[in-house]
């Protein structure tokens, strides 16, 4: 199994995001929330997307209400918030459960691949997927999307 075996519904409900479509690219998957202390990280995620997408980076936001009920809105409200507050235009999924038995299959795969300790502990936990679909890195919420720790790994994979 690899990340390429999973998919998400888009936030607007119009399509599916099939991770297999990103074979050969580097993908950053982040669980997000609109009312979190880390919410300003949307800015950094958008900057990563703008800076590296021409080189093959795909950023995917996965809204989740799992931590502190900090994403209570509907998909339409989340999409509007992200577009108007942070000018987000990277792909976003429908709201997902990212922890526990009801977690989206992608998040269950991450936990089974590298252990339960790799499951998100809070909003804006980041997973870096290599061009081959393998999990290339996990980054907790406190890691700034534009920080050297993450950008160095992205650049190494591009």
Domain extent, residue 8, equals 3-15+23-157
Average pLDDT, the chain: 96
**81 has pLDDT over 80:** yes
How many Cβ atoms from other residues are within 10 Å of residue 71's Cβ?
Answer: 24
**77 has pLDDT over 80:** yes
List alpha helices for 23-92, DSSP H: 41-52, 75-86
Q: What is the pTM of this model?
A: 0.96
Note the pLDDT tens digit of each residue in 116-137.
Answer: 888 999 999 999 999 999 999 9
Q: How many domains does the chain have?
A: 1
Phi and psi at residue 129, in whole multiples of 5°? -110, 130
Note the pLDDT tens digit of each residue in 106-119.
Answer: 999 999 998 888 89
Residues 56-63, mean pLDDT to the nearest whole number: 98
> Is residue 42 within 8 Å of residue 123, measured between CB atoms?
no
How many Cβ atoms from other residues are within 10 Å of residue 136's Cβ?
Answer: 19
Residues 38, 34: Cα–Cα separation, whole Å = 9
pLDDT at 28: 98
Catalytically annotated residues: 36
How many Cβ atoms from other residues are within 10 Å of residue 53's Cβ?
Answer: 14
Residue 113: give its domain's CATH number. 3.40.30.10
């Amino acid at each position: 199994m690899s990340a390429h075996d999973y998919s998400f519904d888009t936030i607007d409900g119009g399509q599916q995001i099939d991770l297999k479509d990103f074979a050969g690219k580097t993908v950053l998957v982040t669980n997000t929330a609109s009312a979190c202390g880390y919410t300003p990280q949307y800015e950094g995620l958008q900057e990563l997307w703008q800076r590296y997408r021409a080189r093959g980076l795909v950023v995917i936001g996965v809204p989740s209400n799992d931590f502190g009920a900090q994403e209570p809105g509907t998909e339409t409200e989340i999409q509007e918030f992200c577009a108007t507050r942070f000018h987000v235009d990277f792909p976003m999924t429908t709201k997902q459960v990212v922890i526990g038995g009801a977690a989206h299959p992608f998040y269950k795969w991450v936990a089974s691949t590298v252990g339960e300790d790799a499951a998100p502990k809070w909003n804006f936990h980041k997973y870096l997927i290599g061009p081959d679909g393998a999990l290339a890195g996990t980054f907790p919420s406190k890691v700034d999307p534009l920080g050297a720790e993450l950008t160095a790994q992205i650049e190494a994979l591009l």
